[in-house]
Amino acid sequence: MAGSALRRLMAEYKQLTLDPPEGIVAGPISEDNFFEWEALIAGPEGTCFEGGVFPARLVFPPDYPLSPPKMKFTCDMFHPNIFVDGRVCISILHAPGDDPMGYELSAERWSPVQSVEKILLSVVSMLAEPNDESGANVDAAIMWRERREEFNIIARRLVRKTLGLPT
């Protein structure tokens, strides 16, 4: 199974290098291991994350694309759909099939037709438009909903931090 996963990851990497989505750079950490990638995601224009460059890591399972990768930001993040430890919580990264909690439709969850590019574009969308009803970080979700300007101040501070500027 790992052989077909490796071929798929190599093809996706080639596609990402030939036609990279705007604001996203991603690829294997090492040519010796295509199952661990790093990504740099630019904060979406017109959002409180604009101007930031957010590093993340993706770890692919041996049965990829049958199972989704895990994604984690490696910088400080404060966002309703990102756990305090940086793990990303969005539907596209949830295992295929029906949601045991009944919250997500199976069509929203992972399927083998998804790709690294679609994941990263979904994360950019998530940064721009959080789902505050499904909070991985409850404090961030509440602040996003009830005290938006305070949330924006924290986000702008994180942007400065990703750029190595004083906060």
Q: Which residues 6+ apart lie within 8 Å of 107 measured at CB?
A: none
Chain center to CA of 109: 14
Rounded distance, CA 92 to CA 80, Å? 16
Q: Quick check: is 89 catalytic?
A: yes
For 98-157, write each residue's pLDDT tens digit: 676 666 777 788 999 999 999 999 999 999 999 988 779 999 999 999 999 999 999 999
pLDDT at residue number 95: 86
Nearest one of 137, 24, 44, 22 to 88, comparing CA atoms:
137
Rounded distance, CA 25 to CA 55, Å? 10
Residue ranges covered by each domain of the chain: 2-162
26 touches 39 (CB < 8 A): yes
Nearest one of 68, 64, 66, 43 to 53, comparing CA atoms:
43
pLDDT at 158 over 70: yes
pLDDT at residue number 15: 95
pLDDT at residue number 102: 60
Cβ neighbours around 90 below 10 Å, total: 21
Q: Which residue has the higher pLDDT, 73 or 105?
A: 73
pLDDT at residue number 109: 86
- Between the two ends of the chain, the Cα-to-Cα distance in Å is 46
Domain 2-162, CATH homologous superfamily name and number: Ubiquitin Conjugating Enzyme (3.10.110.10)
Marked catalytic residue, from 9, 89, 93, 123: 89
**Helix/strand/coil for 135:** coil
Least reliable range by pLDDT among 31-40, 57-66, 102-111, 128-137: 102-111
pLDDT at residue number 101: 65
pLDDT at residue number 31: 87
What pTM did the predictor assign? Answer: 0.92
